[in-house]
Amino acid sequence: MGFFGFIILGLIVGAIVKAVMPGKVGGGWVTSIILGVVGAIVGGWIGSLIFNTDLGSFFDLRTWLLAIVGGLVVAAAYGAIRGRK
């Protein structure tokens, strides 16, 4: 899946992140969607390094799991950095 596929997947992951971590991610829906896109791209990149292959299609379960985990990690890191102020 290409870069634009992960952006579309990230939009969906951003909504999932907002539903799973509603109080942890400040900034509303726009911030959650941006963090979801960044998380999906980071998760896809790390997944391609771990599995040493392209992650395949939009409907591959590994792709979704890595994107969601990446989105949650990025959102948690953002919440931790934002909370230090």
pLDDT score of 84 more than 60 = no
Cβ atoms of residues 67 and 38 within 8 Å? no
pLDDT digits (tens, 9 = 90+) for 19-59: 877 666 666 777 777 888 888 888 877 777 887 666 556 66
Give 3-66 as a DSSP string: HHHHHHHHHHHHHHHHHHSTTTS-SHHHHHHHHHHHHHHHHHHHHHHHHTS----TT-HHHHHH
Domain boundaries, the chain: 3-83
Q: How far apart are CA 79 and CA 76, in angstroms?
A: 5
pLDDT score of 85 more than 50 = no
Cα atoms in the 13 Å half-sphere on the side-chain side of 80: 6
